[in-house]
Structure 1
């Protein structure tokens, strides 16, 4: 489970061997209302002091940290990494319904035994095979652990499936908006380029009257289309890296509050969009150019 926490690392590195050998810990950060993470101003490499009650006998004063000093164990640890969430949470000492932003200090079982004398404490994380009947698996696990003292089984499969469906619906929604905007953009590009070329019909008519060949005319228009496409690609690149990407990162982290922001568009997709943009610009200018070639030069000049 400690190795799986690497997917949620905000700062630092996770190495189970180093954590055990150097007596380090992993801590979970709080998240404020805007999706910003923090852990009391601490960074990986900083030290924290952890005080826990001795496990002999628990009283109200002991759990409120109002008992005598000799009833507590106090240890100093180095922070190895800060993560955005734990994979499991202990609920015996901390009511998570009251302390929604309760911190988690994560260490290995060996460290818990050596530092605080806590034994027979473990979590087992199991993921069902694809296509397995989770209800049947849960029932079998319950039968297996029914004689184990203080053993608790928590089945998150239905919650995971619900969350996955929610994320799929979000993806479909945003993908649909992107497709609609793409279609609108295509029509806008075609109409704008068509108008740009036809607006210079008289100029092109004079050039044809002065003796430019059809192939020379097509070549000139082709160069214009390529230039428009490249300029648009440069604008897309600048806007994406310095505006759109930052807006997407902010939205996903501070509005949707995703644990992992992966809003980066793959390079192949970005390159494909730029190539498509140049192709569209070429097509958009060649259509009116072909139309002008078919018309009479005198009529074009008079327009």
Structure 2
């Protein structure tokens, strides 16, 4: 049985509760972060904490009182749950003042709700999919306009993954105005002529923590990076493609909307970036 963290207490998961009037439950009025754990240590923690602070600010949501203690809380959960490889999920909601209302509760009298739990994922960095690559399909992007805020509004991304599953694929890339925004839970990239192309940062996509690290490492490795929107037709004609996320790291894509990329195996750029990212991230883990 896992130990989880709820509003200042470490509890068995079977004893963890939040109010039925919590705005995260009723309004999806909350934000979250997922931090990977490799070898018992946290990957890119500072980046996740900075993005969490930004998300809270963009929604005029108070920081939890224990915000400055979040590293210690993460580490304690990793320790007590014996996590070697896995994830720590963190969620902050606006809380509740006791009833359902569209109007925000008074921040002077309402504490945000803070929940954290772990997920054990043995061999997280050794995913078989990284060796074979994944297949993606294109779907319309029907989400709200502030995708840069990491909110718990995940119904449509979940539907997108189900659309991919129904089509015999592994994931979906979302398309708006003829261009790819991002994957259902990851940032999307193509490689053409040794140039890495990925959508520029804006309100249209999540500002991925793994994205930032991978692009920095790509530049340090003298790889060319171009941040711009690209179409699905461009993607299907690319030399290779990949996605990045906190839990998948760098994941090669070998098929897009039925079109096979290259020889149908992970390309050298994605493979090298995955190798670099895992090596450097393990060194910097906390």
Asked if these proteins are the same fold (TM beyond 0.5), I'd say no
**Interval of TM-score (by shorter of Structure 1 and Structure 2):** under 0.3
